[in-house]
A and B are shown apart, each in its own frame.
Chain A
Protein backbone atom coordinates (compact mmCIF):
# COMPACT_ATOMS: atom_id res chain seq x y z
CA UNK A 1 0.00 0.00 0.00
CA UNK A 2 1.98 3.01 -1.11
CA UNK A 3 1.39 5.97 1.16
CA UNK A 4 1.70 9.44 -0.26
CA UNK A 5 2.12 12.72 1.54
CA UNK A 6 0.00 15.14 -0.44
CA UNK A 7 -0.51 18.32 1.58
CA UNK A 8 0.06 20.05 4.82
CA UNK A 9 -2.94 19.46 7.07
CA UNK A 10 -3.35 23.22 7.51
CA UNK A 11 -3.98 23.61 3.77
CA UNK A 12 -7.34 21.80 3.99
CA UNK A 13 -9.28 23.35 6.89
CA UNK A 14 -12.88 22.23 7.66
CA UNK A 15 -15.30 23.05 4.84
CA UNK A 16 -12.57 23.17 2.21
CA UNK A 17 -11.27 20.83 -0.44
CA UNK A 18 -8.07 20.30 -2.36
CA UNK A 19 -7.28 18.59 -5.62
CA UNK A 20 -4.02 16.63 -5.57
CA UNK A 21 -2.17 14.41 -8.02
CA UNK A 22 -1.00 11.09 -6.70
CA UNK A 23 0.69 8.44 -8.80
CA UNK A 24 -0.88 9.87 -11.93
CA UNK A 25 -4.37 10.09 -10.43
CA UNK A 26 -6.46 13.16 -9.65
CA UNK A 27 -7.80 12.87 -6.15
CA UNK A 28 -9.96 15.39 -4.33
CA UNK A 29 -9.73 15.67 -0.57
CA UNK A 30 -12.68 17.12 1.35
CA UNK A 31 -12.61 18.25 4.94
CA UNK A 32 -16.08 17.93 6.48
CA UNK A 33 -16.01 19.34 10.00
CA UNK A 34 -12.53 18.02 10.62
CA UNK A 35 -13.02 14.62 8.92
CA UNK A 36 -11.07 14.02 5.74
CA UNK A 37 -12.34 12.11 2.71
CA UNK A 38 -10.34 11.37 -0.43
CA UNK A 39 -12.17 10.50 -3.65
CA UNK A 40 -11.31 10.14 -7.27
CA UNK A 41 -11.85 13.56 -8.83
CA UNK A 42 -13.16 12.15 -12.06
CA UNK A 43 -16.93 11.78 -12.32
CA UNK A 44 -17.82 8.25 -13.48
CA UNK A 45 -20.45 9.70 -15.77
CA UNK A 46 -18.44 11.71 -18.30
CA UNK A 47 -15.39 12.75 -16.35
CA UNK A 48 -16.36 16.10 -14.81
CA UNK A 49 -13.97 17.33 -12.13
CA UNK A 50 -15.72 16.91 -8.79
CA UNK A 51 -13.34 19.28 -7.03
CA UNK A 52 -15.12 22.04 -8.93
CA UNK A 53 -18.59 20.87 -7.87
CA UNK A 54 -20.93 22.38 -5.31
CA UNK A 55 -21.33 20.77 -1.92
CA UNK A 56 -24.87 20.53 -0.62
CA UNK A 57 -26.93 18.58 1.88
CA UNK A 58 -28.86 15.36 1.44
CA UNK A 59 -32.42 16.10 0.39
CA UNK A 60 -34.96 13.37 1.09
CA UNK A 61 -38.74 13.10 1.42
CA UNK A 62 -41.16 10.50 2.66
CA UNK A 63 -44.12 12.16 0.96
CA UNK A 64 -44.58 14.25 -2.18
CA UNK A 65 -44.18 17.94 -1.40
CA UNK A 66 -41.90 17.43 1.62
CA UNK A 67 -38.24 18.39 1.63
CA UNK A 68 -36.01 17.11 4.41
CA UNK A 69 -32.53 18.62 4.40
CA UNK A 70 -29.82 16.81 6.35
CA UNK A 71 -26.05 16.25 6.36
CA UNK A 72 -25.16 19.73 5.09
CA UNK A 73 -21.97 19.83 3.04
CA UNK A 74 -21.72 16.05 2.61
CA UNK A 75 -23.05 15.68 -0.93
CA UNK A 76 -20.94 16.77 -3.87
CA UNK A 77 -22.69 17.69 -7.10
CA UNK A 78 -20.75 17.21 -10.30
CA UNK A 79 -20.27 20.55 -12.09
CA UNK A 80 -21.17 19.05 -15.45
CA UNK A 81 -24.54 17.32 -15.10
CA UNK A 82 -25.14 17.74 -11.38
CA UNK A 83 -25.19 14.08 -10.41
CA UNK A 84 -24.90 13.77 -6.64
CA UNK A 85 -22.23 11.74 -4.83
CA UNK A 86 -22.02 11.01 -1.14
CA UNK A 87 -18.65 12.32 0.02
CA UNK A 88 -18.53 9.76 2.84
CA UNK A 89 -18.87 6.74 0.58
CA UNK A 90 -18.22 7.97 -2.94
CA UNK A 91 -21.51 6.42 -4.03
CA UNK A 92 -23.81 8.06 -6.53
CA UNK A 93 -27.13 9.02 -4.95
CA UNK A 94 -29.24 7.81 -7.84
CA UNK A 95 -27.37 4.63 -8.66
CA UNK A 96 -25.38 3.70 -5.54
CA UNK A 97 -24.81 0.07 -6.51
CA UNK A 98 -23.30 0.59 -9.92
CA UNK A 99 -21.95 4.12 -9.86
CA UNK A 100 -19.32 5.16 -7.35
CA UNK A 101 -16.15 7.14 -7.02
CA UNK A 102 -13.03 5.30 -5.94
CA UNK A 103 -12.30 6.34 -2.38
CA UNK A 104 -8.93 6.28 -0.66
CA UNK A 105 -7.82 5.93 2.93
CA UNK A 106 -6.67 9.33 4.11
CA UNK A 107 -5.17 10.39 7.39
CA UNK A 108 -3.30 13.19 9.10
CA UNK A 109 0.14 12.21 10.34
CA UNK A 110 2.67 14.17 12.32
CA UNK A 111 5.80 15.06 10.38
CA UNK A 112 7.93 13.48 13.09
CA UNK A 113 6.45 10.08 12.28
CA UNK A 114 6.63 10.54 8.54
CA UNK A 115 10.35 11.22 8.41
CA UNK A 116 10.84 7.64 9.57
CA UNK A 117 9.03 6.34 6.43
CA UNK A 118 8.11 4.43 4.45
CA UNK A 119 6.22 7.02 2.38
CA UNK A 120 6.39 8.83 -0.91
CA UNK A 121 6.56 12.58 -0.85
CA UNK A 122 7.44 13.45 -4.39
CA UNK A 123 6.75 17.12 -4.02
CA UNK A 124 7.23 17.61 -0.35
CA UNK A 125 9.93 18.39 2.04
CA UNK A 126 8.48 17.11 5.31
CA UNK A 127 9.38 18.87 8.48
CA UNK A 128 9.03 17.38 11.93
CA UNK A 129 6.99 20.29 13.30
CA UNK A 130 4.02 20.07 10.89
CA UNK A 131 1.13 17.64 10.33
CA UNK A 132 0.50 16.19 6.88
CA UNK A 133 -2.28 14.64 4.88
CA UNK A 134 -1.39 11.12 3.78
CA UNK A 135 -3.24 9.09 1.16
CA UNK A 136 -2.96 5.37 0.59
CA UNK A 137 -3.31 4.19 -2.98
CA UNK A 138 -4.39 0.61 -3.56
Chain B
Protein backbone atom coordinates (compact mmCIF):
# COMPACT_ATOMS: atom_id res chain seq x y z
CA UNK B 1 0.00 0.00 0.00
CA UNK B 2 1.37 3.40 -0.86
CA UNK B 3 0.42 7.00 -0.76
CA UNK B 4 -1.47 6.50 -4.01
CA UNK B 5 -3.53 3.62 -2.73
CA UNK B 6 -7.28 3.49 -2.20
CA UNK B 7 -7.10 5.41 1.08
CA UNK B 8 -5.19 8.38 -0.29
CA UNK B 9 -6.57 11.59 1.20
CA UNK B 10 -8.88 9.78 3.62
CA UNK B 11 -9.80 11.28 6.96
CA UNK B 12 -9.48 8.82 9.81
CA UNK B 13 -12.13 9.91 12.31
CA UNK B 14 -11.07 7.75 15.25
CA UNK B 15 -7.58 6.94 16.42
CA UNK B 16 -6.32 6.50 19.94
CA UNK B 17 -2.95 7.69 21.17
CA UNK B 18 -1.86 5.46 24.00
CA UNK B 19 -3.67 6.41 27.19
CA UNK B 20 -1.27 8.50 29.29
CA UNK B 21 -0.58 7.70 32.93
CA UNK B 22 -1.74 10.03 35.70
CA UNK B 23 1.91 10.95 36.27
CA UNK B 24 2.30 12.04 32.66
CA UNK B 25 -0.81 14.19 32.94
CA UNK B 26 0.31 15.61 36.27
CA UNK B 27 3.08 17.39 34.37
CA UNK B 28 0.35 19.46 32.71
CA UNK B 29 -1.36 20.39 35.98
CA UNK B 30 -0.89 23.31 38.31
CA UNK B 31 0.91 22.82 41.61
CA UNK B 32 -2.16 21.96 43.61
CA UNK B 33 -3.39 19.24 41.30
CA UNK B 34 0.10 17.87 40.66
CA UNK B 35 0.48 17.45 44.41
CA UNK B 36 -2.98 15.96 44.65
CA UNK B 37 -2.14 13.24 42.16
CA UNK B 38 0.87 12.36 44.27
CA UNK B 39 -0.67 12.77 47.74
CA UNK B 40 -3.80 10.83 46.87
CA UNK B 41 -1.68 8.17 45.27
CA UNK B 42 -3.45 8.18 41.91
CA UNK B 43 -0.95 5.84 40.31
CA UNK B 44 -3.06 4.09 37.74
CA UNK B 45 -6.39 5.02 36.23
CA UNK B 46 -7.06 2.35 33.64
CA UNK B 47 -10.47 1.86 32.10
CA UNK B 48 -11.94 -1.59 31.84
CA UNK B 49 -13.37 -0.48 28.50
CA UNK B 50 -10.02 -1.18 26.86
CA UNK B 51 -7.80 -2.94 29.40
CA UNK B 52 -4.21 -2.35 28.24
CA UNK B 53 -3.37 -6.02 27.80
CA UNK B 54 -6.61 -7.17 26.20
CA UNK B 55 -6.11 -8.35 22.60
CA UNK B 56 -8.78 -5.95 21.35
CA UNK B 57 -6.89 -2.98 22.74
CA UNK B 58 -4.05 -3.21 20.25
CA UNK B 59 -3.62 -5.08 17.00
CA UNK B 60 -0.65 -7.47 17.40
CA UNK B 61 1.53 -5.85 14.74
CA UNK B 62 0.86 -2.40 16.13
CA UNK B 63 1.44 -3.60 19.67
CA UNK B 64 4.76 -5.04 18.61
CA UNK B 65 5.78 -1.83 16.91
CA UNK B 66 4.62 0.22 19.91
CA UNK B 67 2.76 2.15 17.26
CA UNK B 68 0.41 4.07 19.52
CA UNK B 69 3.18 5.26 21.83
CA UNK B 70 4.30 8.35 19.94
CA UNK B 71 3.31 10.41 16.92
CA UNK B 72 6.20 9.33 14.69
CA UNK B 73 5.36 5.67 15.12
CA UNK B 74 1.67 6.24 14.70
CA UNK B 75 2.05 8.23 11.53
CA UNK B 76 4.38 5.64 10.11
CA UNK B 77 1.88 2.86 10.86
CA UNK B 78 -1.14 4.64 9.42
CA UNK B 79 -1.00 8.14 7.95
CA UNK B 80 2.19 7.72 5.92
CA UNK B 81 1.46 4.17 4.97
CA UNK B 82 -2.02 4.82 3.60
CA UNK B 83 -1.80 8.49 2.68
CA UNK B 84 -4.48 9.73 5.08
CA UNK B 85 -5.00 13.48 5.03
CA UNK B 86 -5.96 13.67 8.70
CA UNK B 87 -6.45 11.50 11.75
CA UNK B 88 -8.62 12.52 14.67
CA UNK B 89 -7.19 11.65 18.09
CA UNK B 90 -9.69 10.56 20.71
CA UNK B 91 -8.10 10.32 24.15
CA UNK B 92 -9.52 7.54 26.26
CA UNK B 93 -8.03 8.47 29.62
CA UNK B 94 -11.01 7.88 31.91
CA UNK B 95 -11.74 11.43 33.06
CA UNK B 96 -15.39 10.41 33.26
CA UNK B 97 -14.79 7.97 36.14
CA UNK B 98 -13.98 10.57 38.79
CA UNK B 99 -16.64 11.38 41.35
CA UNK B 100 -14.97 14.69 42.19
CA UNK B 101 -15.85 17.15 39.44
CA UNK B 102 -12.93 19.41 40.31
CA UNK B 103 -10.49 16.55 39.92
CA UNK B 104 -12.23 15.56 36.69
CA UNK B 105 -11.88 19.09 35.35
CA UNK B 106 -8.18 19.17 36.28
CA UNK B 107 -7.56 15.89 34.46
CA UNK B 108 -9.61 16.90 31.42
CA UNK B 109 -7.68 20.13 31.08
CA UNK B 110 -4.35 18.32 31.50
CA UNK B 111 -5.39 15.62 29.03
CA UNK B 112 -6.33 18.14 26.36
CA UNK B 113 -3.12 20.10 26.95
CA UNK B 114 -1.14 16.88 26.75
CA UNK B 115 -2.80 15.94 23.46
CA UNK B 116 -2.03 19.35 21.98
CA UNK B 117 1.61 19.34 23.14
CA UNK B 118 2.63 15.75 22.60
CA UNK B 119 0.56 14.82 19.55
CA UNK B 120 -1.02 17.70 17.67
CA UNK B 121 2.16 19.79 17.81
CA UNK B 122 4.14 16.90 16.34
CA UNK B 123 2.32 16.31 13.07
CA UNK B 124 0.18 18.82 11.16
CA UNK B 125 -2.19 16.09 9.97
CA UNK B 126 -3.36 15.21 13.46
CA UNK B 127 -6.58 16.62 14.87
CA UNK B 128 -8.01 16.29 18.37
CA UNK B 129 -11.16 15.91 20.44
CA UNK B 130 -11.70 17.97 23.56
CA UNK B 131 -12.43 15.53 26.37
CA UNK B 132 -15.08 17.05 28.61
CA UNK B 133 -15.36 16.67 32.39
CA UNK B 134 -19.01 15.78 31.99
CA UNK B 135 -19.46 15.53 35.77
CA UNK B 136 -19.97 19.30 35.59
CA UNK B 137 -21.74 21.01 32.73
CA UNK B 138 -20.26 24.36 33.70
CA UNK B 139 -16.72 23.06 33.66
CA UNK B 140 -17.35 21.27 30.40
CA UNK B 141 -18.40 24.56 28.85
CA UNK B 142 -15.27 26.21 30.30
CA UNK B 143 -13.14 23.55 28.65
CA UNK B 144 -14.87 24.08 25.29
CA UNK B 145 -14.32 27.83 25.54
CA UNK B 146 -10.69 27.35 26.51
CA UNK B 147 -10.03 25.15 23.48
CA UNK B 148 -12.14 26.98 20.90
CA UNK B 149 -9.31 29.10 19.55
CA UNK B 150 -7.20 26.05 18.70
CA UNK B 151 -8.69 24.95 15.38
CA UNK B 152 -6.91 21.61 15.54
CA UNK B 153 -9.55 20.55 18.05
CA UNK B 154 -12.57 19.70 15.93
CA UNK B 155 -14.80 17.73 18.28
CA UNK B 156 -15.89 17.50 21.91
CA UNK B 157 -15.91 14.01 23.33
CA UNK B 158 -18.44 12.24 25.56
CA UNK B 159 -19.06 8.61 26.43
CA UNK B 160 -21.99 6.44 25.43
CA UNK B 161 -22.94 5.72 29.04
CA UNK B 162 -22.84 8.38 31.73
CA UNK B 163 -24.83 9.93 34.52
CA UNK B 164 -27.95 10.96 32.62
CA UNK B 165 -29.29 10.57 29.09
CA UNK B 166 -27.40 13.13 27.01
CA UNK B 167 -30.47 14.80 25.53
CA UNK B 168 -31.55 16.20 28.94
CA UNK B 169 -31.70 19.97 29.04
CA UNK B 170 -29.09 20.12 31.82
CA UNK B 171 -26.53 19.32 29.08
CA UNK B 172 -27.72 21.91 26.60
CA UNK B 173 -25.13 24.55 27.52
CA UNK B 174 -22.54 22.09 26.20
CA UNK B 175 -24.37 21.81 22.88
CA UNK B 176 -24.84 25.56 22.71
CA UNK B 177 -21.09 26.07 23.18
CA UNK B 178 -20.24 23.32 20.70
CA UNK B 179 -22.56 24.75 18.07
CA UNK B 180 -21.30 28.28 18.67
CA UNK B 181 -17.72 27.24 17.93
CA UNK B 182 -18.46 24.74 15.18
CA UNK B 183 -17.44 21.72 17.24
CA UNK B 184 -18.93 18.36 16.38
CA UNK B 185 -20.13 16.30 19.35
CA UNK B 186 -18.51 12.86 19.46
CA UNK B 187 -19.96 10.09 21.60
CA UNK B 188 -17.49 7.27 22.05
CA UNK B 189 -18.20 3.74 23.24
CA UNK B 190 -17.52 3.53 26.96
CA UNK B 191 -19.07 4.13 30.32
CA UNK B 192 -18.39 6.19 33.41
CA UNK B 193 -19.27 2.97 35.26
CA UNK B 194 -21.35 5.09 37.62
CA UNK B 195 -24.41 3.08 36.64
CA UNK B 196 -24.79 -0.57 35.75
CA UNK B 197 -24.03 -1.28 32.11
CA UNK B 198 -27.44 -2.72 31.40
CA UNK B 199 -30.79 -1.58 32.70
CA UNK B 200 -31.13 -4.94 34.43
CA UNK B 201 -27.92 -4.50 36.34
CA UNK B 202 -24.30 -5.50 36.02
CA UNK B 203 -23.33 -8.21 33.55
CA UNK B 204 -20.62 -10.73 34.37
CA UNK B 205 -18.31 -10.70 31.36
CA UNK B 206 -16.32 -8.38 29.18
CA UNK B 207 -18.21 -9.79 26.21
CA UNK B 208 -21.46 -8.53 27.67
CA UNK B 209 -19.95 -5.14 28.45
CA UNK B 210 -18.76 -4.75 24.89
CA UNK B 211 -22.07 -5.84 23.37
CA UNK B 212 -24.07 -3.61 25.74
CA UNK B 213 -22.37 -0.52 24.33
CA UNK B 214 -24.78 -0.65 21.38
CA UNK B 215 -27.67 -0.32 23.85
CA UNK B 216 -25.98 2.69 25.39
CA UNK B 217 -25.78 4.32 21.98
CA UNK B 218 -29.42 3.54 21.26
CA UNK B 219 -30.50 5.23 24.46
CA UNK B 220 -28.40 8.34 23.74
CA UNK B 221 -29.67 8.55 20.18
CA UNK B 222 -33.28 8.39 21.39
CA UNK B 223 -32.63 10.93 24.12
CA UNK B 224 -30.90 13.45 21.84
CA UNK B 225 -33.67 13.25 19.26
CA UNK B 226 -36.68 13.12 21.59
CA UNK B 227 -35.57 15.87 23.94
CA UNK B 228 -35.29 18.16 20.93
CA UNK B 229 -31.54 18.84 20.96
CA UNK B 230 -31.53 19.09 17.17
CA UNK B 231 -34.53 21.38 17.15
CA UNK B 232 -32.78 23.67 19.60
CA UNK B 233 -29.33 23.37 17.95
CA UNK B 234 -30.04 22.79 14.28
CA UNK B 235 -26.41 23.05 13.17
CA UNK B 236 -25.21 20.36 15.57
CA UNK B 237 -23.80 17.08 14.27
CA UNK B 238 -23.30 14.12 16.58
CA UNK B 239 -20.86 11.35 15.68
CA UNK B 240 -21.32 7.94 17.27
CA UNK B 241 -17.81 6.51 17.54
CA UNK B 242 -17.18 2.77 17.75
CA UNK B 243 -20.88 2.05 17.94
CA UNK B 244 -20.86 -0.95 15.59
CA UNK B 245 -23.19 0.84 13.13
CA UNK B 246 -25.56 -1.93 12.07
CA UNK B 247 -27.86 -1.70 15.10
CA UNK B 248 -29.00 1.68 13.83
CA UNK B 249 -31.73 0.94 11.24
CA UNK B 250 -33.90 -1.34 13.44
CA UNK B 251 -33.50 1.04 16.36
CA UNK B 252 -34.77 3.91 14.20
CA UNK B 253 -37.65 1.82 12.86
CA UNK B 254 -38.77 1.22 16.40
CA UNK B 255 -38.38 4.81 17.47
CA UNK B 256 -40.20 6.13 14.42
CA UNK B 257 -42.99 3.62 14.68
CA UNK B 258 -43.83 4.54 18.25
CA UNK B 259 -43.40 8.23 17.54
CA UNK B 260 -46.44 8.02 15.28
CA UNK B 261 -48.57 6.97 18.22
CA UNK B 262 -47.15 9.17 20.97
CA UNK B 263 -46.04 12.19 19.00
CA UNK B 264 -48.07 14.36 21.38
CA UNK B 265 -45.34 13.94 24.00
CA UNK B 266 -42.73 15.53 21.76
CA UNK B 267 -44.58 17.86 19.38
CA UNK B 268 -41.34 19.77 18.65
CA UNK B 269 -40.29 16.87 16.44
CA UNK B 270 -41.43 18.19 13.09
CA UNK B 271 -39.89 15.19 11.31
CA UNK B 272 -39.69 11.52 12.08
CA UNK B 273 -36.87 10.37 14.37
CA UNK B 274 -35.40 8.61 11.33
CA UNK B 275 -35.18 11.88 9.48
CA UNK B 276 -33.57 13.62 12.45
CA UNK B 277 -31.00 10.85 12.56
CA UNK B 278 -30.22 11.22 8.87
CA UNK B 279 -29.84 14.97 9.28
CA UNK B 280 -27.75 15.02 12.45
CA UNK B 281 -26.23 11.65 13.33
CA UNK B 282 -23.01 10.28 11.85
CA UNK B 283 -21.23 7.02 12.66
CA UNK B 284 -17.63 5.92 12.40
CA UNK B 285 -17.24 2.75 10.41
CA UNK B 286 -14.89 0.76 12.66
CA UNK B 287 -15.96 -1.49 14.20
CA UNK B 288 -18.69 -2.54 11.78
CA UNK B 289 -20.88 -5.36 13.09
CA UNK B 290 -21.11 -6.99 9.69
CA UNK B 291 -23.52 -9.62 8.45
CA UNK B 292 -21.89 -12.64 6.80
CA UNK B 293 -21.99 -11.59 3.16
CA UNK B 294 -21.22 -8.42 1.17
CA UNK B 295 -24.67 -8.60 -0.42
CA UNK B 296 -26.20 -8.16 3.02
CA UNK B 297 -23.97 -5.17 3.63
CA UNK B 298 -25.56 -3.59 0.57
CA UNK B 299 -28.95 -4.06 2.17
CA UNK B 300 -27.82 -2.39 5.36
CA UNK B 301 -26.58 0.59 3.34
CA UNK B 302 -30.02 0.78 1.74
CA UNK B 303 -31.65 0.64 5.15
CA UNK B 304 -29.67 3.64 6.32
CA UNK B 305 -31.36 5.53 3.44
CA UNK B 306 -28.48 7.93 3.36
CA UNK B 307 -24.99 7.84 1.94
CA UNK B 308 -23.86 10.67 4.19
CA UNK B 309 -23.96 9.06 7.61
CA UNK B 310 -20.84 6.90 7.65
CA UNK B 311 -17.38 8.24 8.41
CA UNK B 312 -14.13 6.46 7.80
CA UNK B 313 -12.17 5.39 10.88
CA UNK B 314 -9.52 2.83 11.66
CA UNK B 315 -10.03 2.81 15.42
CA UNK B 316 -6.24 2.51 15.58
CA UNK B 317 -4.71 0.74 17.49
CA UNK B 318 -7.77 -1.29 18.51
CA UNK B 319 -7.92 -4.61 16.73
CA UNK B 320 -11.04 -4.22 14.62
CA UNK B 321 -9.84 -5.47 11.26
CA UNK B 322 -7.15 -7.65 9.74
CA UNK B 323 -4.58 -6.64 7.14
CA UNK B 324 -5.72 -3.51 5.36
CA UNK B 325 -9.41 -4.34 5.13
CA UNK B 326 -10.52 -1.11 6.73
CA UNK B 327 -13.91 -0.88 5.04
CA UNK B 328 -16.70 -3.44 4.85
CA UNK B 329 -16.68 -5.38 1.58
CA UNK B 330 -19.06 -4.53 -1.23
CA UNK B 331 -19.22 -0.72 -1.04
CA UNK B 332 -19.48 1.13 -4.35
CA UNK B 333 -16.57 3.41 -5.35
CA UNK B 334 -18.81 6.48 -5.03
CA UNK B 335 -19.92 5.57 -1.53
CA UNK B 336 -16.36 4.70 -0.58
CA UNK B 337 -15.17 8.15 -1.57
CA UNK B 338 -17.94 9.77 0.47
CA UNK B 339 -17.09 7.70 3.52
CA UNK B 340 -13.36 8.36 3.22
CA UNK B 341 -13.39 12.07 2.50
CA UNK B 342 -16.63 13.96 1.82
CA UNK B 343 -18.64 12.79 4.80
CA UNK B 344 -15.91 13.51 7.36
CA UNK B 345 -15.42 16.99 5.90
CA UNK B 346 -19.14 17.65 6.18
CA UNK B 347 -19.36 16.22 9.69
CA UNK B 348 -16.47 18.28 11.04
CA UNK B 349 -16.84 21.90 10.02
CA UNK B 350 -13.65 22.81 11.91
CA UNK B 351 -11.61 20.40 9.76
CA UNK B 352 -11.91 22.61 6.73
CA UNK B 353 -10.67 25.70 8.56
CA UNK B 354 -7.16 25.18 9.89
Interface residues of A (CB under 8 A from B): 56, 59-68, 81-84, 92-95
B231 near A63 (CB under 8 angstroms)? yes
Complex CA gap A82/B229 in Å reads 25
Of the candidates A59, A62, A65, A92, the one whose C-beta lies within 8 Å of that of B264 is A59
B227 interface residue (CB < 8 Å to A): yes
B267 near A81 (CB under 8 angstroms)? no
B228 interface residue (CB < 8 Å to A): yes
Q: Mark B224-243, 1 if CB is under 8 A from A, else 0.
A: 00011101100000000000
Chain B: CB-nearest residue to A84: B263
B262 near A64 (CB under 8 angstroms)? no
A94 near B267 (CB under 8 angstroms)? no
Of the candidates A61, A84, A94, A95, the one whose C-beta lies within 8 Å of that of B268 is A61
A64 near B272 (CB under 8 angstroms)? no
Residues of B within 8 A of A62 (CB): 268
Residues of A within 8 A of B267 (CB): 59-61, 66-68
B261 near A83 (CB under 8 angstroms)? yes
Chain B: CB-nearest residue to A57: B264
Chain B: CB-nearest residue to A66: B268
Residues of B within 8 A of A82 (CB): 260-262
Main SS at interface, chain B: helix
Complex CA gap A59/B227 in Å reads 16
Residues of A within 8 A of B268 (CB): 61-66
How many inter-chain residue pairs (CB < 8 Å) link A and B?
Answer: 43
Further pairs besides A60-B267, A92-B260, A93-B263: 13, Cβ < 8 Å: A56-B264, A59-B263, A59-B267, A61-B267, A64-B228, A64-B231, A64-B268, A65-B268, A68-B267, A82-B261, A82-B262, A94-B260, A95-B260
B259 interface residue (CB < 8 Å to A): yes
Could you tell me how many residues of chain B have their Cβ less than 8 Å away from some Cβ of chain A? 15
Of the candidates A63, A81, A92, A94, the one whose C-beta lies within 8 Å of that of B228 is A63
Q: Give 25 pairs: A residue, B residue, CB < 8 Å, sorted on A.
A: A56-B264, A59-B263, A60-B267, A61-B267, A62-B268, A63-B232, A64-B169, A64-B227, A64-B228, A64-B229, A64-B232, A66-B267, A66-B268, A67-B267, A68-B267, A81-B260, A82-B260, A82-B261, A83-B260, A83-B261, A84-B263, A84-B264, A92-B260, A94-B260, A94-B263
Complex CA gap A95/B260 in Å reads 9
Chain A nearest Cβ from B255, distance in angstroms: 12
Q: Which of A62, A67, A81, A94 has the largest number of chain B CB atoms within 10 A?
A: A94
Chain A nearest Cβ from B329, distance in angstroms: 34
Residues of A within 8 A of B262 (CB): 82
Residues of B8-52 at the interface with A, using a CB-CB cut-off of 8 Å, are none
Complex CA gap A95/B259 in Å reads 11
Chain A nearest Cβ from B202, distance in angstroms: 33
Chain A nearest Cβ from B261, distance in angstroms: 4
Residues of B within 8 A of A64 (CB): 169, 227-229, 231-232, 268
Chain B nearest Cβ from A74, distance in angstroms: 14
Shortest Cβ-Cβ A-B pairs, 4 listed: A64-B228, A82-B261, A61-B268, A61-B267
Residues of B within 8 A of A84 (CB): 263-264
Complex CA gap A24/B10 in Å reads 62
User: With A61-B267, A65-B228 in contact, is A94–B272 under 8 Å at CB?
Assistant: yes
Residues of B within 8 A of A68 (CB): 267
Complex CA gap A61/B266 in Å reads 8
Residues of A within 8 A of B272 (CB): 94-95
Complex CA gap A93/B267 in Å reads 11
B263 near A65 (CB under 8 angstroms)? no
Residues of B within 8 A of A59 (CB): 263-264, 267
Chain A: CB-nearest residue to B260: A94
Residues of A within 8 A of B263 (CB): 59, 84, 93-94
Chain B nearest Cβ from A94, distance in angstroms: 5
